Amino acid sequence: MRSVQDQLSLVAASVVAPRPVQVAISEAQGLLCAEEVVTTAPLPSFDQVAVDGYAVRAVDVTLAGQEAPAEMADLDTAGIEVSRPGDGDELVVHLPVVGDVAAGSRTPIRLQPGQAVRVQTGAPMPTLADAVVPLRWTDGGDQRVMIGHGVDTGDYVRRVGDDVQPGDVAVREGEVIGPAQVALLAAVGRARVLVHPRPRVAIISVGDELVDIDRDPGPGQVYDVNSYGLAAAARDAGADVHRVGAALRDSERLREVVEAQLIRSEIVVLCGSVGGEASRAVVEALSDLGDLEISRIAMHPGSVQGFGLLGRDEIPTFWLPANPVSALVTFEVMVRPLIRIALGKRQPMRRTVSARTVGPIVSVAGRTGYLRGQLMRDERSGEYLVQVIGESDSGTSHLLAELADANCLIVVDEDTEELETGDRVEVMFLAQRG
C-alpha cells in the first residue's frame, strides 16, 4: 500500500503546465503573471489634482486659518486680501477665481500670483499653481473664494511619477493578478499581459448505469453526479473545465472519448467503479494509450484509485472512485494540488490549521483519514475547534448532504486510530461559502 505522500510526489512530478500566453487584461484576473511588467512612462504623466477644490500658490494662502492679530492694520498681507469674519479669531484669505479646470481638460491655464482656479479631481494642475485647497475649506465661491485653511506646497497634488516611475516594475512575475493589478496594468497602458493560463481539465464519468440530470433514471440507473461535482471542484481549483459527462464502458467507445480529451487537456479525470472487473476492463481498454495503474493508497476515503500518464504527451490521468463523496475527497487530496501547480502557484496545498476536537473521532488504522468536519473558532480564546460530521465518530458515511455541510477536512494521521475530546488535529480548509 502506497502512502499518501508517495502518491502525491508521483502525481506532482507529472505536471503538464500549459505554456504562458498573452491575454487581454480583462481576462487575466486570478492568473499568475508570467512576465515582469516594466513601465515605460511615469504615472501620473502630468501633475494632477487630487481633490475637488481650488488650485493656488501655497504662499498666497499662508495666512488662511492663522490666529488674527489684535490690529488688522499691523498684518503684512503681501498684497493678498485678508479678513477676519465677524468676531472670529482666524483669518480668511480672499482670492479671485480666474478659471475652472475639469478632469480631461486639454486647455492649459496659467495662474498669476494672488489668484485661484477651481479644479476637479484628476484635472491637470494650472501652471504656477503648487497646491490645492480642498473645497471643504472654502465657501465654494465662483467669482471670488474665501479660504479658511492654508496649505503647503504639494498638498493635494499628485506629482508626475508619484505612483510609478519609468523603469519601475508594475506587476511582478509570479504575482497573482487581482483587481488592483488589472487596474495598474490599465493605468500604465498595458492592454495584454503574459500569464500562466488555466490548465484544461476534462471530466469523464464512466458507467452504463449513468444518465444525465435532464433525463429520468430508469430501473438500475442513477444520475451522473460525479461529472458535475468534479467539474465544479476543478473550476474552484482554477482550471478551465470541459465536462464530458457520462461515457459507457464499451472499450472502443471509451478509448475514443479519452483519446479525444488527451489531445485537448493538461489533466484528465475519469470516475467510476475503481475496483474489480469493471476497472480492469477500463485499464485494458486504455492500455495502448499508456499505463493507468490502479493502486491501494493509505488514505480513506479513496483507498483505491488510479493514476497514469496517457497519450503521446503523457497527460496525467486520474481514475477516481464512483462514490461521490469519495470522488470529491480524493480529488481534493490528489487532483487539486496538480491543478494549482500547473497554474504556477507556489503553495498548491490548501491552508491547514491546528484545532482541538469537540468530540471523539475514530479513524482507520494504517490510513490517513480525510474526514468531513465543521471548523469553528472560540470567541474568547480565538482557538480553532472542530467536530466531525457524519453518522458515526469516524465520519465515514457516504452522504453528500454531510459533505455539503463540511467546511474542512479533518486530517487524521495514519498512525492514529482514535482522538479524544480536546486532542489537537490538523484541519484542511475547504472552499469558503457565502
Query: Could you please report the per-residue DSSP string of 222-256?
Result: EE--HHHHHHHHHHHHT-EEEEEEEE---HHHHHH
Decide if 109 is inside a domain: yes
141-155 pLDDT per residue, tens:
999 999 999 999 999
Residues of the domain holding 54? 48-158
User: To which H or E segment does residue 183 belong?
Assistant: helix 179-187
* Residue 432 to residue 434: CA distance in whole angstroms: 7
* Residue 285 to residue 279: CA distance in whole angstroms: 10
Decide if 34 is inside a domain: yes
Decide if 420 is inside a domain: yes
CATH number of domain containing 368: 2.40.340.10
What are the backbone dihedrals phi and psi of residue 241, each rounded to the nearest 5 degrees, phi first?
-105, 135
Q: Do 201 and 240 touch, CB atoms closer than 8 A? A: yes
Q: How confident is the model at residue 205 (pLDDT cuts 50, 70, 90)?
A: very high
Mean pLDDT of the chain: 90
Domain check: are 191 and 239 in the same one? no
What are the backbone dihedrals phi and psi of residue 275, each rounded to the nearest 5 degrees, phi first?
-125, 160
Q: What is the pTM of this model?
A: 0.74
Type of residue found at 187: A
What's the total number of domains in the chain? 4
CATH number of domain containing 243: 3.40.980.10
Mean pLDDT of 32-51: 91
Does residue 277 register a pLDDT over 80? no
Q: How far is C-alpha 61 from the chain's CA centre?
A: 47
Domain check: are 9 and 27 in the same one? no
Does residue 276 register a pLDDT over 80? no
What integer pLDDT is reported at residue 402 of this predicted model? 66
308-359 pLDDT per residue, tens:
999 999 999 999 999 999 999 999 999 999 999 888 887 888 999 999 999 9
119-128 pLDDT per residue, tens:
999 999 999 9
Domain check: are 331 and 217 in the same one? yes
Instruction: Say which residue, 272 or 335, is predicted with more confidence.
Output: 335
Give SS3 for 94: strand
Decide if 434 is inside a domain: no
Domain check: are 38 and 174 in the same one? yes
CATH number of domain containing 124: 2.170.190.11
Domain check: are 191 and 202 in the same one? no
Domain check: are 239 and 330 in the same one? yes
Domain check: are 387 and 411 in the same one? yes
Domain check: are 107 and 238 in the same one? no
Type of residue found at 4: V
Domain check: are 56 and 153 in the same one? yes
Please return the burial class of 344, using the count of CB atoms within 10 Å of its CB with bins 0-12, 13-18 and 19+. Answer: buried
Decide if 164 is inside a domain: no
Decide if 163 is inside a domain: no
Domain check: are 192 and 131 in the same one? no
Of 309, 343, 377, the position where a domain reaches its end is 343
Of 108, 132, 158, the position where a domain reaches its end is 158
Domain check: are 80 and 183 in the same one? no
Does residue 412 register a pLDDT over 90? yes
Q: How confident is the model at residue 399 (pLDDT cuts 50, 70, 90)?
A: low
Decide if 165 is inside a domain: no
Give SS3 for 70: coil
Q: What is the DSSP letter of 171?
A: E
Of 94, 128, 158, the position where a domain reaches its end is 158
Does residue 395 register a pLDDT over 50? no
What integer pLDDT is reported at residue 221 of this predicted model? 86
Domain check: are 153 and 285 in the same one? no
Lowest mean pLDDT among 1-10, 72-81, 396-405: 396-405
Does residue 275 register a pLDDT over 80? no
Q: How confident is the model at residue 135 (pLDDT cuts 50, 70, 90)?
A: very high
